[in-house]
Amino acid sequence: DQQVKQNSPSLSVQEGRISILNCDYTNSMFDYFLWYKKYPAEGPTFLISISSIKDKNEDGRFTVFLNKSAKHLSLHIVPSQPGDSAVYFCAASAPGTYKYIFGTGTRLKVLA
């Protein structure tokens, strides 16, 4: 039972354009969401998070949008850079818990 789903295994975007990575979840109890970036042979690196009391959080080129009614969140990267090429994981946790439930990841490739 995959509670956090990333339905696009891969995405290619031209440098300078916007990258949009999507994530859907099924557990309405989730109240905290995060995006991690992972390069090969490295551990995931935290990018940005959002609490369920917000619908948007922005940090530099990265913006996360949360649509609670649709149980959907997205990560926007603009402008995309070749160094953004990596696997992106979304993760979620429920109130009073510390466990992150991860999606299966989306491999982003930014073309120069």
Partner 1 sequence: NAGVMQNPRHLVRRRGQEARLRCSPMKGHSHVYWYRQLPEEGLKFMVYLQKENIIDESGMPKERFSAEFPKEGPSILRIQQVVRGDSAAYFCASSPRDIHNEQFFGPGTRLTVL
| Candidate segments 13-21, 65-73, 75-83, 96-104, binder of partner 1 by CB under 8 A | 96-104
Choice between 15 and 100, CB closer to partner 1: 100
Q: Is 33 in the site for partner 1 (CB under 8 A)?
A: no
Q: 8, 27, 32, 61: which one contacts partner 1 (CB under 8 A)?
A: 32
Distances (CA, A) of 16 to 35, 48, 65: 21, 20, 20
8-state DSSP, 8: -
Residue 57 CB, shortest distance to partner 1, in Å, is 13
**β strands within the chain, DSSP E:** 4-5, 10-14, 19-25, 32-38, 45-51, 56-59, 62-67, 72-77, 86-93, 101-102, 106-111
Residues 6+ apart with CB under 8 A from 16: 79, 80
With binding defined as CB under 8 A, does residue 53 bind partner 1? no
The one-letter code for the residue type at 2 is: Q
User: Is 97 an interacting residue with respect to partner 1 (CB under 8 A)?
Assistant: yes
Q: Does 41 bind partner 1 (CB under 8 A)?
A: yes
Interacting residues toward partner 1 by CB under 8 A: 4, 6, 32, 34, 36, 41-46, 49, 51, 89, 91, 93, 96-105
